[in-house]
């Protein structure tokens, strides 16, 4: 007999099942499998010794505080540290603008809980971060997808979607997950202008912004929006009374196992988010917050990020070379200037979801692109490849295996006759 619970689940969209990514992560513990699937940082760069020193310092100097209940909004020195760090990106936040979360994923959940009624539409990039869809499906969100190309969100296609009255726009401007693309400077201005024109606020998710390998840093939307408010005199009296909620994380710059992210928002929104978080889990671990602060402070984080950038840039280059060498004609891929992922397109009629079991049989894994679309029939000929986690020789070998598989599966008469669309990522 089944339990009494079976018939009692809420009418939420839990139909997506467990994330393909998570299931793949399970698989990737098998050591002979080369995985480009997860979004895992390179563990060899985790600052283990510094963490150990920091843990000892926290527990010996203010252990009773770190182990006791704490404020919902987070550990003040860490929130101050985050403000100081964001200042260099032009974000003028005060600690009152910052809430600490259990990674960015919790920020997405809290935003859903605070803002989304069943049937509310969220404007998203297509493809977009799968975890955001999972977070918001639980609140029965609907989506208004707008395509991206090599310059990020196609702002020329934004207005019709904005006119449908979405609750907010969800934008990943830097080295987007999954596509690795970056929103161009010009389009950033467009996004902010259109946000204000249509009165549709923005959730800016920036997990990878600090991991730029090359090219010019571009200002975050939250800073451009503040500038816009000032110029237009809409909101001149204080910084961060604007229309952007900005999400940051230590998962890619320090360690994901700490589960530490943050939200920057107008005080009004922060107050609400704190209330929501309180009912959700009271607060984030004081111990991990204090540890992160002690590790990051005194310039360590900056120095550490420099190392990460260097390593990931090398691995990206190795992957780009290997793709060039081993992938069959007719494939294309993005060339990210930072982050953890690139996005590859294979010739139709290949379907990356159908190919995955074969790939795994050849001991190499990726995430099928369709996972990042609301309509999972789309993106059939695309895949996300992670370059941060695998060793250089594995990257080469994995691309070789994948390339051979693609060649094997291509129809014999496969000839490239149509020029590939340039730019369009989907």
Distance between CA atoms of residues 419 and 178, nearest Å: 24
Phi, psi of 29 (to 5 degrees): -75, -15
- Segment contacting a copy of itself (CB under 8 A): 181-189, 213-221, 253-261, 414-422? 253-261
**Least distance from C-beta 274 to a copy of itself, angstroms?**
7
Residue with tokens 């919902």: 72
Shortest reach from residue 170's CB to a copy of itself, in Å: 14
Contact between 344 and a copy of itself (CB under 8 A)? no
Residue of 187, 188, 212, 259 interacting with a copy of itself (CB under 8 A)? 259
Residue pointed to by tokens 């809430």: 99
Beta-sheet pairing, 244-249 with 202-205: parallel
Please state the closest distance from residue 241 (CB atom) to a copy of itself, in A.
Answer: 6
Residue closer to a copy of itself by CB (options 52, 87) is: 52
- 71 near a copy of itself, judged by CB under 8 A: yes
If binding is defined by CB under 8 A, does position 294 make contact with a copy of itself? no
Q: Which is it for strands 364-365 and 261-264: parallel, antiparallel or unpaired?
A: unpaired
Q: Please give the Cα distance from 138 to 123 (Å, whole number).
A: 16
The DSSP bridge partners found for residue 203 are 170, 245
For residues 122-151, which are near a copy of itself according to CB under 8 A? 131, 134-135, 137-139
CB 381 → a copy of itself: shortest distance, Å? 27
Instruction: Choose, by CB under 8 A, the member of 27, 157, 234, 416 that binds a copy of itself.
Output: 234
Contact residues for 49 (Cβ-Cβ < 8 A; gap 6+)? none
The strand order across the sheet containing 382-386 reads: 332-333, 341-345, 382-386, 367-368
CA-atom Rg of the chain in angstroms: 22
Give the binding range for a copy of itself (CB under 8 A) out of 63-71, 142-150, 152-160, 178-186: 63-71
Q: How far is the CB of 197 from a copy of itself (least distance, A)?
A: 12
92 binds a copy of itself (CB under 8 A): no
Q: How far is the CB of 425 from a copy of itself (least distance, A)?
A: 24
Query: Is there binding between residue 286 and a copy of itself (CB under 8 A)?
Result: yes
Q: Is the peptide bond before 349 cis (omega within 30 degrees of 0)?
A: yes
Please name the residues in contact with 360: beta carbons below 8 A apart, sequence gap of 6 or more.
27, 33
Q: State yes or no: residue 43 binds a copy of itself (CB under 8 A).
A: yes
Residue 220 makes contact with a copy of itself by CB under 8 A: no
Q: Is residue 293 at the binding interface for a copy of itself, with CB under 8 A as the rule?
A: no
Distance between CA atoms of residues 167 and 140, nearest Å: 13
Please state, in angstroms and rounded to a whole number, the distance separating the CA atoms of residues 353 and 369: 8
Tokens of 409: 């599966």
Query: What residues numbered 179-218 form the site for a copy of itself, per CB under 8 A?
Result: 199-201
Window of 46-54, 82-90, 181-189, 330-338 that interacts with a copy of itself by CB under 8 A = 46-54
Contact residue for a copy of itself among 150, 151, 190, 241 (CB under 8 A): 241
Q: Pick one of 165, 257, 421, 423: the residue that binds a copy of itself (CB under 8 A).
A: 257
Task: Quickly list DSSP for 43-104.
Answer: GGGS-HHHHHHHHHHHHHHHHHHHHS---TT--HHHHHHHHHHHHTTT----GGGEEEESHH
Least distance between a copy of itself and beta carbon 426 (Å): 24
Question: Applying CB under 8 A, which part among 49-57, 89-97, 149-157, 206-214 lies near a copy of itself?
Answer: 49-57
The answer to whether residue 40 forms part of the interface with a copy of itself (CB under 8 A) is yes
Determine which residue in the list 97, 106, 174, 181 makes contact with a copy of itself, applying CB under 8 A.
106
Contact in structure between 41 and 54 (CB atoms under 8 Å) = no
């Amino acid at each position: 007999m089944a339990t009494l619970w079976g018939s009692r689940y809420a009418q939420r969209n839990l139909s997506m099942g467990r994330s393909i990514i998570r299931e793949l992560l399970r698989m990737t513990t098998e050591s002979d499998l080369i995985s480009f699937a997860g979004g895992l940082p390179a563990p060899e760069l985790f600052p283990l010794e510094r963490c150990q020193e920091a843990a000892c310092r926290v527990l010996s100097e203010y252990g009773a505080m770190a182990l006791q209940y704490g404020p919902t909004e987070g550990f003040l020195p860490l929130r101050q540290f985050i403000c100081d760090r964001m200042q260099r990106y032009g974000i003028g936040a005060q600690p009152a603008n910052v809430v600490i979360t259990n990674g960015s994923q919790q920020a997405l959940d809290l935003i859903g809980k605070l803002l989304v009624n069943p049937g509310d539409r969220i404007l998203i990039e297509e493809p977009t971060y799968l975890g955001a869809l999972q977070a918001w499906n639980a609140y029965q969100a609907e989506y208004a997808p707008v395509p991206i190309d090599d310059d990020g969100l196609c702002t020329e296609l934004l207005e019709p979607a904005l006119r449908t009255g979405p609750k907010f726009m969800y934008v990943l401007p830097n080295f987007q997950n999954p596509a690795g693309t970056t929103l161009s400077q010009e389009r950033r201005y467009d996004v902010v202008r259109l946000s204000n024109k249509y009165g549709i606020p923005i959730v800016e998710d920036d997990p990878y912004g600090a991991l730029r390998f090359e090219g010019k840093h571009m200002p975050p939307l939250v800073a451009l929006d503040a500038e816009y408010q000032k110029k237009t005199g809409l909101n001149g009296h204080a910084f961060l009374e604007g229309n952007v909620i900005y999400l940051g994380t230590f998962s890619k710059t320090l360690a994901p196992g700490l589960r530490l992210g943050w939200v920057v928002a107008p005080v009004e929104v922060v107050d609400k988010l704190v209330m929501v978080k309180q009912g959700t889990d009271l607060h984030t671990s004081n111990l991990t917050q204090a540890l992160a602060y002690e590790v990051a402070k005194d310039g360590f984080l900056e120095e550490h990020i420099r190392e990460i950038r260097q390593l990931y840039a090398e691995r990206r280059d190795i992957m780009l070379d290997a793709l060039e060498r081993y992938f069959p004609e007719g494939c294309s891929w993005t060339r990210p200037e930072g982050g953890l992922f690139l996005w590859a397109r294979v010739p139709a009629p290949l379907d990356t979801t159908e190919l995955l079991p074969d790939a795994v049989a050849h001991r190499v894994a990726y995430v099928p692109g369709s996972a990042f679309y609301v309509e999972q029939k789309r993106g059939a000929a695309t895949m996300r490849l992670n370059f941060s986690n695998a060793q250089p020789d594995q990257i080469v070998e994995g691309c070789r295996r994948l390339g051979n598989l693609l060649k094997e599966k291509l129809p014999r008469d496969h000839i490239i006759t149509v020029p590939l669309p340039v730019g369009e990522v989907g």
